[in-house]
């Protein structure tokens, strides 16, 4: 998989920001939406929804709880 620039710590405070982070990471590793979907056993439509920031109740609850506790989620490359 090709990487053009290193992934960095990305604060995520909404489903839209989560979607942007997923799309950016997917593109940096050179995967299509269909390839990512196959790897995570989902449909391409599910990946499209995730990348567009479509809310689910679980994600909405997560971001509401984090905001209420004055916390934020951050996305960064996994250490191996």
Residue 48 counted as domain residue = yes
Check which CATH number belongs to the domain holding 22 and give it.
Answer: 1.10.260.40
pLDDT attached to residue 77 = 87
Residue 4 counted as domain residue = no
**pTM more than 0.85:** no
**For residue 62, what are the CA distances in angstroms to 1, 4, 13, 51?**
31, 31, 10, 17
Give the count of domains, the chain. Answer: 1
Q: Could you read off the pLDDT of 62-79 as tens digits, one per residue?
A: 999 999 999 999 998 888
The tokens of 55 are what? Answer: 């809310």
User: Could you tell me the residue range of the domain that residue 44 belongs to?
Assistant: 10-75
Residue 1 counted as domain residue = no
Q: Could you read off the pLDDT of 4-14 as tens digits, one per residue?
A: 556 578 889 99
Residue 20 counted as domain residue = yes
Contact of 63 with 78, CB cutoff 8 Å: no
């Amino acid at each position: 998989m090709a990487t053009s620039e290193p992934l960095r710590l990305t604060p995520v405070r909404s489903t839209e920001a989560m979607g942007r982070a997923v799309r950016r990471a997917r593109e940096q590793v050179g995967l299509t939406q269909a390839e990512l979907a196959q790897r995570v056993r989902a449909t391409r439509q599910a990946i499209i929804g995730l990348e567009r920031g479509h809310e689910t109740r679980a994600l909405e609850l997560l971001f509401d709880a984090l905001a209420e506790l004055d916390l934020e989620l951050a996305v960064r490359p996994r250490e191996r």
